[in-house]
Structure 1
């Protein structure tokens, strides 16, 4: 089965099965994805970290599927019902849905009406009426009347026979597959407001009367509707026949059932009864089953899409350009409680703190200026970080005036506070600064975040950073796993200075657990800085396997061996020494020597252990050792005099920063305490299917203000600077854009609500039974053609 799993994954990833087999072996041996992607390229033939993450996820699913397969095979075999054909179908099932369909008739369950009817001996009646339409139902049923078995009359016998067939149809895996495929292509998701909830659920007004093909519902709209249902505002149902004329009772799915069993319905004696069986089987059994399943599938798909949006945004935020090791004065703005000030050195060490009150109600401007100016002078500050929360623009204006009045060449930057309060109140912050107020800790975090976003943000639960889409509505365990993988990949892509890194950052390095990471810090505190990578082997519990996984990602700056500051793995140092020896050059002479390195042929230094990919990477790394893959540091310049939403005027062109990218567009901070929305249709003059094709979190962009809603504090923007406010655009309705914007705002503070049980759906109202009429016959005849 392992070979079958590997082949399936290979087909899905469009790679060779040998690559998958090699990667699976490495993963099973305890190797991490970052290590495999970077240092085992020969083994996997160059699978990258994204492919390996997908492979790892799919491998887990398929192994769970195989475990379930074995349980099902055993259960059916113990019942003595495992035929060769059934076993082959179960072994060939490629999804959990297909597997459970096959197991459905054999699953242990409470006694049903169908089972009771079979026990009463009614199965022959069911089979005869289904297969011999010339039989008269009442007459045939009269032969099965038996009061001792609970069959009081012909009606009871026919009811029992119908129940047997209904359950048989509802457990037919092949039939369910046909209906499922039809619904996946043709069914609509219908959303309706619950009577009396219109005012309470105004934020869901776009979905008060909404119909959309199930296959076309994007993740953000699906999750919006599911949230509306969970909050008791919306009722969702599956419309299996959206193109059907109003008043027609039959469903095309009933045609599928008849066709599946080769049944032709006409005017023979049993046909009316058989039509009723089909109708009831569809409406009472199969439709409810399919609606639950397809809704669940839609939710899973939507959750996966939302988690991917969060993961992509998180990666962009983590990989944002660092300002670098510069002495930084950080301000956590506030009004009544004042602005908290922290000065940190280039390594993030706290040097000084203060509290100033430059704003109302205290308005101590002169004293505040003197305090800040004194700190800048005392510590030779060359960078100022200002949190973007309450009073941020007022604080930014205060700092700008101070710098201008004193002719200071100090750069001031607005920094996102998302998650800073979480860190401030965390055990990690308390251990680091036990005697500091949480707001001062927040200022420290803001300053460090500017120096190195990655190193600081790893201290915060990724879910608290707030760059997601409906992150509160998805599986929190799956979201955490996805985000942890993103953080791990980013940290290892950049590399970590082992002599300055926090335990939180070291924990994200491949091969290091939380305990080992803390042991590294403890060893450093007790013995001083690490002078070489080999010293890491002295750290408690950092054994050979952990060293193999982590060594290449840990940097020793200015250590004994210059290679320790690069991404060259210690296991490959012999290759570098061979390059130096073969060219009669000392090690120092080849590191960073671009002219020499570009003249080398990687193939000349390969052997059985180190192949062409590894040697090529080594030469590239030697050219720019320890290079940071993150972009150059740049900042947006907010417009002067624009501090609040009321300062915005349609037509303004402003510079801003992308704060969040969703499926429906991007949100931009232009410095007014409220992000504006650039809808996907306004991102470019060209068609855009995914906003991330154009922008990512952290990008600096030019936008034009298109619409300002002061009452609801909503801002519509466009990156097509030729657009004019009020002109017709090929976007969705303005209210849909507003709905998208309100969702973005709601995501920041939304908390989960207990899911309400839904009732109803697209089931038939009133009595079900009797002949299905000419509409069904016409549809069936058309299908048969």
Structure 2
């Protein structure tokens, strides 16, 4: 039954769903199933398998809950055949709980007290219709606690109201109509206009539930939480429109069988309906819609966050090149770290270039020396506070080194989001126990340019800073989804077994933290792995873990060239059959497109390896270990455009997408504050999802449309022909600008660098380092001359 339901939802063959469920139950991971079990799944991809896995869990939980509910109702002696059939046919947890509601053990209510007093027969009579006055009937039911007719009728009403409020059909219909007709409304709390200015768009706001996008829901809830907004979820629009009481009372009366009949109990039944709506169902529906909207918002925000994290993790790597990482700062200096091609730290220094001309020259001298000594090819500049000034310093250093005859390094602006979190983390402390906390961020910036995936896996994905209200959403859901994103990204790229960190290895399919630590310990003790088979010697890495992980682990220049590819060891016999037929050894077969293109996959397919597997193996042999990530490219930031005040409407600039939200994308054009390309300015055609147009880390060209200096807001367009605003809104003379964002904008968007607190801060103009070579420009001479005299550039 479950397999059939999922097959229908996914639009795939039921047999493939059955096979996939069996694979999951055996402990196989989604990345392994997606890549190496295509015959069994019918070629389901990672996304489909994740959906299948999620639905399988939900439906199994639903079946377990059905069993519990049936047993509970049966134990009360109230389970009828009709109710049992209805429960077994339920396909959502919400509907199941609605059906179970009348049978749940409740706290003592006014209705239960009335029932205990024997008033239920009266309630039933009045519902069925009577010819005598209800007051006269009520007089026959006087008892302790209900000593007059009015009290008796009130007790009978409590019974009817509770029955109406727990009727699954009524509850379901009312909730549905409430959601389709209702509005979210908000107004500003008295005295909060100035303090809550970023929520000004919601000071007098109303929008139908069904039209509310996730970011606006979260903005409303955050404004309410911060005490800035009054927020209501009701059937009115907040501007005088009626609450549709009569409409909902009619639904309750109709579905509950309490419509007017022209008898003397009509008024009693009408009161029951009115009380059921106003004291029970309107309240529970408002709570339900709040929960439903929050769930919708959470899913939307988590999806946006997940896609942005995936884009960053799969951003183009600059490759294995010596890199100087610069973590910019004014007062606390620029923290610098040189790493070699493998990411090993070679040298560190803190310079203070932004405290005067002399300090600038001193910093340039020191950095030029580091670049020349360590043959640095890349200068990675963090994009926080003082980033453009520091990038200018980096470009001058590059020119200086080039003028001396050495290879000119490339300066690149790098997102430093999460670098401060890494710096103070246990991972960083373990990796660099003796290094100043302030310098660890520079190491991270350098390494994330070399290989974003390998470095970013060391940071909690929630700290990467590309989310939309990530601190407001369901944290369990967010963590689970981000774990999936990281796992899929790591396994899609593959991991070098002999260089990967513990954090990277534990994201490989089938490898947990303990096994990852054991792999690194084994590597440290015995040296580099020479073959995948050696993994079986690692403690606690058994055959099952080997099966799941082996295909995603690479060994460069090992004993078997196939170990450097995505070909799974279980498919090596297939490759050997191909070798026998072609007469070419594996090294000659790899990359031989002419020979591989002439092989028909069907000729090698059998009961063990189907056509999909053979096709994948041939593709991998053609381009072994291919990286799915794009080629490395950086944005060329405009000279002289370093502050918001430098921007002029109409400018066309190059920048990097830093964050994609539901309403648009933020782009770093090098002025410390990201500009917003609204979804309406992304294309000449309708855009449903900004992710369809851009992705985080992508280099784009944009036109400046409008600049609000006072609020540091920059409006950009991807449509380069768009007209710009004629006026740039300047801040008042002498005022300080501030990054003010409305509740609709991503609240965690960068408006400056992260702050590092370290023990190594020195007085301005000084620097600390472990430099092995000292080089200073001679009095009256040039740095280029000094470099040549020192022998650099030959």
TM-score normalized by structure 1? 0.91
State the alpha-carbon separation in 1 of the partners of residues 192 and 63 from structure 2.
46
What residue ranges of structure 1 are gaps of 5+ in the alignment?
A: 729-734, 751-785
Partner of 1:708: 707
Question: Compared with structure 1, are the counterparts of its residues 478 and 747 closer, same or farther at alpha carbon in structure 2 (3 Å cutoff)?
Answer: farther
**Residue pairs, 1:37-186, within 5 angstroms:** 37-132=34-129, 134-146=131-143, 149-186=144-181
State the alpha-carbon separation in 2 of the partners of residues 329 and 199 from structure 1.
44
SS in 2 for 1:702: strand
| Conserved? CA contact 1:472–1:747, under 8 Å | no
State the alpha-carbon separation in 2 of the partners of residues 187 and 448 from structure 1.
51
SS in 1 for 2:665: strand
Question: Compared with structure 1, are the counterparts of its residues 482 and 243 closer, same or farther at alpha carbon in structure 2 (3 Å cutoff)?
Answer: closer
Question: Compared with structure 1, are the counterparts of its residues 514 and 84 closer, same or farther at alpha carbon in structure 2 (3 Å cutoff)?
Answer: same
| Conserved? CA contact 1:648–1:705, under 8 Å | yes
Confirm whether residue 237 of structure 1 aligns to residue 201 of structure 2: no
SS in 1 for 2:525: helix
Confirm whether residue 567 of structure 1 aligns to residue 562 of structure 2: no
Partner of 2:790: none
Question: Compared with structure 1, are the counterparts of its residues 727 and 43 closer, same or farther at alpha carbon in structure 2 (3 Å cutoff)?
Answer: farther
Question: Compared with structure 1, are the counterparts of its residues 749 and 674 closer, same or farther at alpha carbon in structure 2 (3 Å cutoff)?
Answer: closer
**Residue pairs, 1:224-373, within 5 angstroms:** 224-240=219-235, 246=241, 250-265=245-260, 268-360=263-355, 363-373=358-368
Q: Deviations over 1:579-624 (max 9, x none)?
A: 1101222122211000111111001101111111111100000000
State the alpha-carbon separation in 2 of the partners of residues 528 and 704 from structure 1.
54
| Conserved? CA contact 2:198–2:742, under 8 Å | no
Deviates more, 1:653-662 or 1:386-395: 386-395
State the alpha-carbon separation in 1 of the partners of residues 525 and 715 from structure 2.
56
SS in 2 for 1:606: coil
State the alpha-carbon separation in 1 of the partners of residues 249 and 690 from structure 2.
41
Question: Compared with structure 1, are the counterparts of its residues 247 and 61 closer, same or farther at alpha carbon in structure 2 (3 Å cutoff)?
Answer: closer
How far 1:555 sits from its partner (Å)? 0.2
Partner of 2:731: none
Confirm whether residue 475 of structure 1 aligns to residue 479 of structure 2: no
| Conserved? CA contact 1:241–1:252, under 8 Å | no
Partner of 2:382: 387
Aligned length: 739
How far 1:749 sits from its partner (Å)? 12
How far 1:490 sits from its partner (Å)? 0.4
| Conserved? CA contact 1:336–1:362, under 8 Å | no
Confirm whether residue 464 of structure 1 aligns to residue 463 of structure 2: yes
| Conserved? CA contact 2:564–2:625, under 8 Å | yes
State the alpha-carbon separation in 1 of the partners of residues 357 and 752 from structure 2.
31
Question: Compared with structure 1, are the counterparts of its residues 207 and 593 closer, same or farther at alpha carbon in structure 2 (3 Å cutoff)?
Answer: same
Question: Compared with structure 1, are the counterparts of its residues 246 and 35 closer, same or farther at alpha carbon in structure 2 (3 Å cutoff)?
Answer: closer
Partner of 1:754: none
Partner of 2:2: 5
State the alpha-carbon separation in 2 of the partners of residues 85 and 5 from structure 1.
22
Partner of 2:503: 504
**Residue pairs, 1:708-727, within 5 angstroms:** 708-726=707-725
| Conserved? CA contact 2:119–2:152, under 8 Å | yes
| Conserved? CA contact 2:364–2:397, under 8 Å | yes
| Conserved? CA contact 2:323–2:377, under 8 Å | yes
How far 1:133 sits from its partner (Å)? 5.4
How far 1:747 sits from its partner (Å)? 11
Partner of 1:743: 747
| Conserved? CA contact 1:714–1:738, under 8 Å | no
State the alpha-carbon separation in 1 of the partners of residues 130 and 121 from structure 2.
14
State the alpha-carbon separation in 2 of the partners of residues 442 and 268 from structure 1.
80
| Conserved? CA contact 2:323–2:378, under 8 Å | yes
Deviates more, 1:76-85 or 1:203-212: 203-212
SS in 2 for 1:232: coil
How far 1:493 sits from its partner (Å)? 0.3
Partner of 1:34: 31
Confirm whether residue 411 of structure 1 aligns to residue 404 of structure 2: no
State the alpha-carbon separation in 2 of the partners of residues 622 and 636 from structure 1.
34
What residue ranges of structure 2 are gaps of 5+ in the alignment?
A: 728-738, 755-794
**Residue pairs, 1:588-737, within 5 angstroms:** 588-726=587-725
How far 1:153 sits from its partner (Å)? 1.1
Deviates more, 1:354-363 or 1:440-449: 354-363
State the alpha-carbon separation in 2 of the partners of residues 165 and 748 from structure 1.
61
How far 1:365 sits from its partner (Å)? 2.3
Q: Deviations over 1:434-488 (max 9, x none)?
A: 1111122111111110000000000001111011001000121221111011000
State the alpha-carbon separation in 2 of the partners of residues 507 and 431 from structure 1.
16
